[in-house]
Chains A and B, each alone.
Chain A
Amino acid sequence: MSRGTAIYGARRLLLVLGTAFIVSSVTFLAIHALPGTAFTCEKNPAGCAHQNAVYGLNDPLFIQYRTFLWNLIHGDLGYSYINQGTQVVPLLLREAGASLLLGLFAIVVTIVVGLIIGVTAAVRQNTWLDYALSSFVVFGYSIPSFVLATFIIILTGIALPNWAGSIGWGAPEQIPIPAIALGLPYAAVVARLVRASMLDVIRQDYVRTAWAKGLSSRVIIVRHALRNALIPVITIGGPLVTAIITGSVVIETIFGIPGLGKEFVVSITTRDYGIVVGLYTFYAVLVGLANLGVDLLYPVLDPRIRYA
């Protein structure tokens, strides 16, 4: 990494921190602006008042915000209202761990499957193989994920009836199936982009030069064509990685995975303020880091790009 790249990276990291601060504040104010609270006061007015007092929810918003900021810079987001006695940060970290583990495997599925399908379809353009793969791709991203996940569970259940891997969470063999269910739709997106980009690149003059040099088709496709074809494709890497890691509510629910996905819905409906703020701040940091990662990847793939 050049000096310019390092400085650029450091500046971007500061920007991510700034963004995280702004996102947390906006989320804090927005969720407090929503009507209703975590505690229903109709059935148990005394308990409710007590709870509100404990969590400082009766204080003016300005005071609550000041406390929130003070705690935030100490890396503390208080307690979850719904999971009583549980601190928000450890809870989110635990759930993020599951999502991260699943997400990383799903990313591998996305990249490997997306690249293989995209490159093969481009190299065999307008053959039956291309049409078959392209149809598969359309199928892949148009089918709802709960249908796809259920389908995969049933298939593996029939093929391997005594295998614990087809559903559930906790054991290593339970990672691949949900990772495939989560990664395949994104693989379809990647495959489409890779195919289009490859079709453009394999008509370039330098690819013709590579053929004229007498290189093998494998070398030409991987070293000369794919490397150039990936430059536009990695642009979607940021949003893609974020989307996969934060998981899908559907996949986590179907497979019973204790990940972050469900919190995006549950924490808002239950007004679990700390979780909401922590979750969206985490999301913002993840988007920032993923995009930074992509931007740092550009100069690695394309020597013409330099950060001065």
Chain B
Amino acid sequence: MPAILEVKGLKTQFLVRGGVVRAVDGIDLRVNRGETVGIVGESGSGKSMTALSILRLVPEPGKIVEGSITFDGRDVLAMNRDELRKFRGNDVSMIFQDPMSSLNPVLKVGYQIEEAMKSHDRFSAEESKSRVPMLLRRVRIPDADRRAKEFPHQFSGGMRQRAMIAMGLSNEPDVLIADEPTTALDVTVQAQILQQLRDLNRELGTAIVLITHNMAVVANICTWVVVMYAGRVVEQGPTAEIFRSPQHPYTWSLLRSIPRIDEKLGGKLLTISGLPPDLTNLPPGCKFHPRCRFTVDRCFTEEPDLFNVGPQHESRCWVQMDNVPDPDSDLREAPVVPLEEDAGALVIAGEESAAAV
């Protein structure tokens, strides 16, 4: 399948007083037409910056310093202001994490959707206006004609995110980037929004890049998973493959830090010790080695490439985890290299780093 969006060797950095923050440090990403790609990682892993880089919306003082972004054969990084304006929201659109603050409070919701279409050439002014209720109905907003004339503060959180999705899809883009679209919403609304994204992907063939720290969300709608750590891809592959046989210790740990309903009671949940690395001062060798339970000598000095570990499956690790215990076994027996678990190491079982990732 031809890639509609391809990112190669992307590096996005922030020059700050303390040095250079390597937010995105050499990312390769490939999105095919109609595909659903999940980008997973904890806070600070560079997933949002990757998304913002694709639309060239990196906030100051951030800069894309290296790499290429190609959309449908066109070089995004070489676009001038006007080309970029036509690209945003038309070829690739984006919806953001917090629907409460992502809509303009002083403009009517319908108008904000209409103006997204008016700023591009796909629809005439009349079509732009008449499509608004249809778009709102498509994301299951009841009473769409009346709702279009309301302001964002008259919408609930879930409805605002639906309105954002309607806006994002209004120009029938080839790719929709959804940056943690459900994080700010409660669980039942989350499920509805995800269901809608999946339906829209099927109905319209819009490729979706879903950025999340929630593995369950990925399992729900993505066909391809990219796991990020410290600004780089550490593992990628088809969703089923990643979930069945994670090859990078980070992914492996993440999946084992999720409580399972079919697990026997009284077991201990796996946690990933330590903190995400300081992006101004990355450790030598593999960036995950300070928190890894499977380290070998090489991990401390030399960073691995993304190696093929399956037909479409790549992992950035020196250790081949072919014989990792199957997910149903007792995870306490799992570590290959024992970690000094009782040494008082900082264990974070918080939402970001382990359990919810």
> Contact between B116 and A205 (Cβ–Cβ < 8 Å)?
no
Report, as a range, how many residues of chain B touch the other chain: 20 to 34
Q: How far is the CA of A188 from the CA of B179 in the complex (A)?
A: 41
Asked if A209 is at the interface of the complex by the 8 Å CB criterion, the answer is: yes
> Contact between A213 and B89 (Cβ–Cβ < 8 Å)?
yes
> Contact between B105 and A303 (Cβ–Cβ < 8 Å)?
yes
- Pick from B86, B102, B103 the residue with the most CB of A within 10 Å: B102
Asked if A94 is at the interface of the complex by the 8 Å CB criterion, the answer is: no
Closest-by-CB residue of A relative to B86 is A214
Instruction: List, in ascending order, chain A residues with CB within 8 A of B226's CB.
Output: none
A205-B96, A304-B153 in contact; A212/B104 too (CB < 8 A)? no
Q: How far is the CA of A301 from the CA of B104 in the complex (A)?
A: 12
> Contact between B94 and A214 (Cβ–Cβ < 8 Å)?
no
A-contact bits for B49-74, CB 8 A (1 contact / 0 none): 00000010101000000000000000
The one of A204, A208, A217, A227 in contact with B57, judged by C-beta atoms closer than 8 angstroms, is A208
Instruction: List, in ascending order, chain B residues with CB within 8 A of A210's CB.
Output: 104
> Contact between B106 and A215 (Cβ–Cβ < 8 Å)?
no
> Contact between A204 and B101 (Cβ–Cβ < 8 Å)?
yes
A-B residue pair count with CB separations less than 8 angstroms: 77
Asked if A297 is at the interface of the complex by the 8 Å CB criterion, the answer is: no
Asked if B167 is at the interface of the complex by the 8 Å CB criterion, the answer is: yes
Q: How near does chain A come to B189, taking the closest CB pair, in angstroms?
A: 19
> Contact between A206 and B103 (Cβ–Cβ < 8 Å)?
yes
A206-B102, A208-B96, A214-B120 in contact; A303/B88 too (CB < 8 A)? no
> Contact between B119 and A215 (Cβ–Cβ < 8 Å)?
yes
Asked if B93 is at the interface of the complex by the 8 Å CB criterion, the answer is: yes
Asked if A223 is at the interface of the complex by the 8 Å CB criterion, the answer is: yes
> Contact between A214 and B87 (Cβ–Cβ < 8 Å)?
yes
> Contact between A304 and B107 (Cβ–Cβ < 8 Å)?
no
Which residues 209-235 of A have a CB within 8 angstroms of B? 209-217, 219, 223-224, 227-228, 231
B-contact bits for A283-306, CB 8 A (1 contact / 0 none): 000000000000000000111100
A-contact bits for B125-154, CB 8 A (1 contact / 0 none): 000000000000000000000000001010
Interface size counted on chain A using CB atoms at 8 A: 24
A209-B96, A303-B153, A304-B153 in contact; A215/B105 too (CB < 8 A)? no
Instruction: List, in ascending order, chain B residues with CB within 8 A of A228's CB.
Output: 104-106
> Contact between A224 and B104 (Cβ–Cβ < 8 Å)?
yes
B-contact bits for A118-141, CB 8 A (1 contact / 0 none): 000000000000000000000000
The one of A206, A214, A302 in contact with B88, judged by C-beta atoms closer than 8 angstroms, is A214
> Contact between B104 and A213 (Cβ–Cβ < 8 Å)?
no
> Contact between A303 and B151 (Cβ–Cβ < 8 Å)?
yes
A204-B101, A223-B107, A302-B106 in contact; A211/B88 too (CB < 8 A)? yes
Asked if B260 is at the interface of the complex by the 8 Å CB criterion, the answer is: no
- Pick from A209, A223, A227, A231 the residue with the most CB of B within 10 Å: A209
Closest-by-CB residue of B relative to A231 is B106
> Contact between B104 and A215 (Cβ–Cβ < 8 Å)?
no
Q: How far is the CA of A209 from the CA of B89 in the complex (A)?
A: 9
Asked if B85 is at the interface of the complex by the 8 Å CB criterion, the answer is: yes
Instruction: List, in ascending order, chain B residues with CB within 8 A of A302's CB.
Output: 105-106
A206-B101, A206-B102, A302-B105 in contact; A213/B88 too (CB < 8 A)? yes
- Pick from A210, A212, A216, A301 the residue with the most CB of B within 10 Å: A212
> Contact between A212 and B107 (Cβ–Cβ < 8 Å)?
no
A205-B96, A303-B151, A303-B153 in contact; A213/B119 too (CB < 8 A)? yes
A-contact bits for B153-165, CB 8 A (1 contact / 0 none): 1000000000010
Asked if B115 is at the interface of the complex by the 8 Å CB criterion, the answer is: yes
Instruction: List, in ascending order, chain A residues with CB within 8 A of B55's CB.
Output: 211-212
Instruction: List, in ascending order, chain B residues with CB within 8 A of A206's CB.
Output: 101-105
Asked if B253 is at the interface of the complex by the 8 Å CB criterion, the answer is: no
Q: How near does chain A come to B344, taking the closest CB pair, in angstroms?
A: 40
Q: How far is the CA of A302 from the CA of B96 in the complex (A)?
A: 23
> Contact between B89 and A214 (Cβ–Cβ < 8 Å)?
yes
Q: How near does chain A come to B141, taking the closest CB pair, in angstroms?
A: 18
Asked if B28 is at the interface of the complex by the 8 Å CB criterion, the answer is: no
Q: How far is the CA of A95 from the CA of B88 in the complex (A)?
A: 57
Asked if B98 is at the interface of the complex by the 8 Å CB criterion, the answer is: yes
Q: How far is the CA of A206 from the CA of B164 in the complex (A)?
A: 11
Asked if B245 is at the interface of the complex by the 8 Å CB criterion, the answer is: no
Instruction: List, in ascending order, chain B residues with CB within 8 A of A224's CB.
Output: 104, 107
Q: How far is the CA of A301 from the CA of B106 in the complex (A)?
A: 7
Q: How far is the CA of A304 from the CA of B89 in the complex (A)?
A: 27
> Contact between A209 and B120 (Cβ–Cβ < 8 Å)?
no
Instruction: List, in ascending order, chain A residues with CB within 8 A of B151's CB.
Output: 303-304
> Contact between A213 and B106 (Cβ–Cβ < 8 Å)?
no
Instruction: List, in ascending order, chain A residues with CB within 8 A of B96's CB.
Output: 205, 208-209, 212
Instruction: List, in ascending order, chain B residues with CB within 8 A of A219's CB.
Output: 115, 119
Closest-by-CB residue of B relative to A125 is B60
Asked if B90 is at the interface of the complex by the 8 Å CB criterion, the answer is: yes
> Contact between B107 and A216 (Cβ–Cβ < 8 Å)?
no
Instruction: List, in ascending order, chain A residues with CB within 8 A of B106's CB.
Output: 227-228, 231, 301-303
The one of B85, B101, B103, B167 in contact with A216, judged by C-beta atoms closer than 8 angstroms, is B85
> Contact between A211 and B57 (Cβ–Cβ < 8 Å)?
yes
Q: How far is the CA of A211 from the CA of B151 in the complex (A)?
A: 20
Q: How far is the CA of A304 from the CA of B155 in the complex (A)?
A: 12
A-contact bits for B28-60, CB 8 A (1 contact / 0 none): 000000000000000000000000000101010
Q: How far is the CA of A205 from the CA of B184 in the complex (A)?
A: 14
Q: How far is the CA of A211 from the CA of B104 in the complex (A)?
A: 12
* Interchain Cβ contacts under 8 Å between A and B, 22 examples: A204-B101, A205-B96, A205-B98, A206-B102, A206-B103, A208-B57, A208-B102, A209-B104, A209-B167, A211-B55, A211-B88, A212-B96, A214-B88, A214-B89, A214-B116, A215-B89, A217-B81, A227-B107, A228-B104, A231-B106, A301-B106, A304-B151
- Using a CB–CB cutoff of 8 Å, the interface residues on chain B facing chain A are 55, 57, 59, 81, 85-90, 93-94, 96, 98, 101-107, 115-116, 119-120, 151, 153, 164, 167
Smallest CB-CB A-B distances: 8 pairs? A214-B89, A214-B88, A205-B101, A213-B89, A206-B104, A213-B116, A303-B151, A212-B94
